[in-house]
Amino acid sequence: PGKRVLIVYAHQEPKSFNGSLLKIAVEELTKQGCSVTVSDLYAMQFEPRATRNDIVGRLHNSEAFNYGVETWEAYKRGGLSKDLVEEQKKVQEADLLIFQFPLFWFNMPAILKGWMDRVLVQGFAYDLSKAYDGGLLQGKLSLFSFTTGGSKEMYSKGGIGGDIRYVLWPMQHGIMHFCGVKVLEPHICYAPENVSEEKRKEMLTAWTQRLKTLWKEEPIDCSPEWYFK
Amino acid sequence: PGKRVLIVYAHQEPKSFNGSLLKIAVEELTKQGCSVTVSDLYAMQFEPRATRNDIVGRLHNSEAFNYGVETWEAYKRGGLSKDLVEEQKKVQEADLLIFQFPLFWFNMPAILKGWMDRVLVQGFAYDLSKAYDGGLLQGKLSLFSFTTGGSKEMYSKGGIGGDIRYVLWPMQHGIMHFCGVKVLEPHICYAPENVSEEKRKEMLTAWTQRLKTLWKEEPIDCSPEWYFK
């Protein structure tokens, strides 16, 4: 109770299975007394492209545009675009970040990748020599919750898609761990479009159940062994 | 000579190191007698978001929007948006796809991820039971050419970023291999922003040299062993 949660949600359709998972998380966490904020990226028409528009006013070097340098400098002088400042404020205030999305091509959808690219700028999320366990977002938790098209068998060792943990490395280790954010076990719903209505209901119930004891969970050990053992 | 190459390029600044790598590829491949097409995603203001706008006319199911189903149906009846049809035509005609970009967060920038999400739709790039070696883009080659922020040491086994091959899995196996496209060795320029001008020139020369014998290269064996051995 009293915990603050930011859910970054990337699905176009409220009636989708992802939409149901979002609804469950908002309801269950609110019931627990958490303060829940949702960034509904498609509804916000969130901009995924990292461009000059993210910097208000003059560039640090207008001769050759370097997105990393420009957003770092803009962050320091308070010159990032309004939509980024708003997202950063939500991140800053959150104890837990939940990412809810359908897996697209072994990865998050572009609109969510754009949120990572644009919101987690140097100076805000990490800095020179402040990365991984020293990242600037220390003290926060994260959880990747997603649906797949392929089955659990396909995403297993020996399956054609390989161990699902392989696709978690860039997201969990490369982004969250890099920023100092601890990572909870991912929540994966395999192929909800290809199972029975009963099975889908079971998956929704499992998510509700997990959320009930979420705050007692220990983060994973986000080392190469967890992913590639 | 006579080969067709599509370069999908994701950098905002022509004067950047990525811009130089693009220029080299266009010049060298053209000199070889190849026909080279460039999709300069930022210059095109390419849309990365997968939305209802990608479907022209009526939806298959307007009650609940399902992007995968709708683009598949739209592809079959010729109802995809013009920008997607143009990119698919370029892909169809190409013998080799080169992706040139800076690594952002252990992955491609959102604008390029959006190209993958929106262009490689079911029916065009893969289909029911037509995936991996049976994918619909068989007969084509691909090559991921990118720059990193971190050093080669960081992206090695035992390095904090892990083996660079870990980040190649979702892109090479999860996307290209899934569509039946063979994968050439990636071309990686480590931390060009942090090395001497001389070293940068060496990296550019190495790219030119590689391109000279590119058509004699054998694709990698895109199996889990290549990535996680």
Looking at residue B229, its pLDDT comes to 85
* Contact check, Cβ <8 Å, B64/A107: no
Alpha-carbon gap, residue A146 to A148, rounded angstroms: 7
Looking at residue B58, its pLDDT comes to 94
Pull the structure tokens for residue A182.
């601890």
Looking at residue A1, its pLDDT comes to 75
Alpha-carbon gap, residue A195 to A40, rounded angstroms: 26
pLDDT in tens, A63-114: 999 999 999 999 999 999 999 999 999 999 999 999 999 999 999 999 999 9
Chain B residues lying within 8 Å of A68, measured CB to CB: 149
* Contact check, Cβ <8 Å, B111/A169: no
Q: Suggest the residue from A71, A119, A165, A169 to mutate for an interface test with chain B (most B CBs closer than 10 A).
A: A169
Helix residue ranges per DSSP H, B109-164: 110-119
Comparing CB atoms, the residue among B64, B149, B170 nearest residue A106 is B170
Percent of chain A with pLDDT over 70: 100
Looking at residue B72, its pLDDT comes to 98
Q: Where are the beta strands (DSSP E) in chain A?
A: 4-9, 35-40, 96-102, 141-147, 182-183, 187-189
For position B161, which CATH number holds?
Answer: 3.40.50.360
Looking at residue B1, its pLDDT comes to 75
Pull the structure tokens for residue B223.
């199996």
Query: Domain range for residue A21?
Result: 4-228
Q: Which stretches in chain B have pLDDT values below 70? A: none
Count of domains observed in chain B: 1
Predicted-complex ipTM score: 0.97
Percent of chain A with pLDDT over 90: 98
pTM: 0.98
pLDDT in tens, B92-149: 999 999 999 999 999 999 999 999 999 999 999 999 899 999 999 999 999 999 999 9
Reported as a pLDDT band with limits 50, 70 and 90, residue A229 is confident
Q: Which amino acid is at B154?
A: M
